[in-house]
């Protein structure tokens, strides 16, 4: 199946009270592992690409070429969206041109008027091309690929203003942060999420910083309208731990254990296990 935008899968998720995972990709192994798991579990999926990861993979056209090739050659039949994560205005335009099926414009660091103006412009463009677009209100805390957010809690009225522009999905800061949560993390602001959900109605809400949020909080967030959950760091940690184990056990020194196809295999399997666990928790299994 060719790439699809994220509208249909998220509308269904919101109505069916489950969430679709956005898993960020970094290279071929990452992408292959996520696609294999989605197909095995018959789950829709969103492949997230940060601007930094896009650059690392040689640019957006390379990413589009790799993903399209895999969809065809791996016979992927589940819905897959290729989505720019935390895009700048210029980055969103470049991804649209390169063939992404979905973009996020993160204007959360602009004053709300400027966030609105830029989001509006990009909506016109994505609507024309049949792509989906995510906007953000209230910066997500922590740091991801050089994008540092202040960890704001979104103003529900501002969320409504952005939702009313016609975005496909809306990310709102509710105390979530990228990366691992500190010991003294206060948890998600469900009161704010509930308010946002009341004001934005059927708009699919996006929860960033999916790594390390306890299962009961994830379930509660989904019950309050979250239909897309972003996970990045957890796959990175799983990949690193499995690769470390392989090397610490000296397996790269045995036979042809140095072959990258062998060396990277435990990490790729670890990503698959993490994605499976998340899809089961989010409820997206068999929803393709």
For binding to ligand 13P (CB under 6 A), which residues are involved?
Answer: 24, 48, 85-86, 144, 178-179, 208-211, 230-234
**Catalytic hit among 8, 85, 106, 164:** 85
Q: How far is the CB of 282 from ligand 13P (least distance, A)?
A: 13
Give catalytic status of residue 259 as yes or no. Answer: no
Identify which of residues 46 and 80 has a Cβ nearer to ligand 13P in the complex.
46
With beta carbons less than 8 A apart as the criterion, state whether 136 and 106 touch: yes
* Eight-state DSSP code of residue 226: E
Q: How far is the CB of 208 from ligand 13P (least distance, A)?
A: 3
Identify which of residues 207 and 264 has a Cβ nearer to ligand 13P in the complex.
207
Identify which of residues 189 and 251 has a Cβ nearer to ligand 13P in the complex.
189
Q: How far is the CB of 249 from ligand 13P (least distance, A)?
A: 27
Q: How far apart are CA 53 and CA 60, in angstroms?
A: 9
The vertex-234 CA angle with 192 and 10, nearest 5°, equals 50
DSSP 131-187: -EEEEEESPPBEEETTEEE--PBPPHHHHHHHHTTT-SEEEE-BS-BSSPPPTT---
Identify which of residues 66 and 235 has a Cβ nearer to ligand 13P in the complex.
235
With beta carbons less than 8 A apart as the criterion, state whether 102 and 83 touch: yes
With beta carbons less than 8 A apart as the criterion, state whether 218 and 165 touch: no
Q: How far apart are CA 241 and CA 273, in angstroms?
A: 13
Q: How far is the CB of 238 from ligand 13P (least distance, A)?
A: 11
- The residues that are catalytic are 85
């Amino acid at each position: 199946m060719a790439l699809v935008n994220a509208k249909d899968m998220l509308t269904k998720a919101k109505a069916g009270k489950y969430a679709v995972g956005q898993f960020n990709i970094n290279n071929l192994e990452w992408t292959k592992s996520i696609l294999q798991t989605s197909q095995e579990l018959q789950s829709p999926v969103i492949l997230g690409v940060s601007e930094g990861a896009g650059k690392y993979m040689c640019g957006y056209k390379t990413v589009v070429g790799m993903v399209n090739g895999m969809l065809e050659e791996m016979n992927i039949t589940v819905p897959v969206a290729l989505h720019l994560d935390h895009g700048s205005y210029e980055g969103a335009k470049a991804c649209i041109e390169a063939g992404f099926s979905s973009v996020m414009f993160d204007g959360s660091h602009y004053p709300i008027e400027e966030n609105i103006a830029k989001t509006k412009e990009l909506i016109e463009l994505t609507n024309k091309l049949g792509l989906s677009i995510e906007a953000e209100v209230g910066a997500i805390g922590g740091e991801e690929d050089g994008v540092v957010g202040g960890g704001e809690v979104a103003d529900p009225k501002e969320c409504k203003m952005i939702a009313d522009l016609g975005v496909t999905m809306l990310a709102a800061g509710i105390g979530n942060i990228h990366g691992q949560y500190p010991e003294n993390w206060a948890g998600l602001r469900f009161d704010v999420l509930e308010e946002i959900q009341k004001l934005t109605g059927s708009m699919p809400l996006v929860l960033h910083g999916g790594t390390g949020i306890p299962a009961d909080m994830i379930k509660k967030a989904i019950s309050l309208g979250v239909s897309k959950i972003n996970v990045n760091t957890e796959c990175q940690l799983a990949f690193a731990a499995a690769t470390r184990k392989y090397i610490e056990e000296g397996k790269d020194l045995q036979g042809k254990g140095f072959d990258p196809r062998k060396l990277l295999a435990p990490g790729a399997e670890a990503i698959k296990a993490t994605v499976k666990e998340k899809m089961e928790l989010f409820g997206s299994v068999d929803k393709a």
